[in-house]
Amino acid sequence: MIDRFQEHAANERTFLSWTRTSIAVAGFGVLIEKLPNTPVQSGTGIILVGLSALLIATSTIRFLVIRRQLRRRADVNQAFALIEVLFTGMLMVLLVTIFVFLIRLLQ
């Protein structure tokens, strides 16, 4: 039996969730850049792809640090504020982009 199995499984589920979200945001960024007759060519898609790559890198570091702490049987109490701030920023850029597209399409 794996020691602290529930914590390891939760760590892996969280990592996979961040990865899945990053891939979705990167896909939306590619979609924005490749849409024909896009009203705004502002490079927002490229920014979203770059932010999603940064999010995957940050979530990988978070996963590895927590896994090491679990294996050493240390308390896992480190704060990873960077990943939450990055995720919030990505969502804000995504929502503003959608809002701008919808406003421009209605004109």
Structure confidence at residue 16 (pLDDT): 95
Q: Please enumerate in sequence order all residues whose Cβ is within 8 A of that of 36, keeping only pairs 6 or more positions apart, or say none.
A: none
DSSP code per residue over 15-68: HHHHHHHHHHHHHHHHHHHH-TT-S--SSHHHHHHHHHHHHHHHHHHHHHHHHH
Structure confidence at residue 3 (pLDDT): 80
Mutual angle of helices 44-71 and 5-34, in 10-degree steps: 170
Structure confidence at residue 79 (pLDDT): 63
Structure confidence at residue 20 (pLDDT): 94
Q: Which residues of the chain have pLDDT under 50?
A: none
Element (H, E) at 2: none
Express each pLDDT in 21-39 by its tens digit: 889 988 988 887 787 766 5
What pTM was computed for the model? 0.72
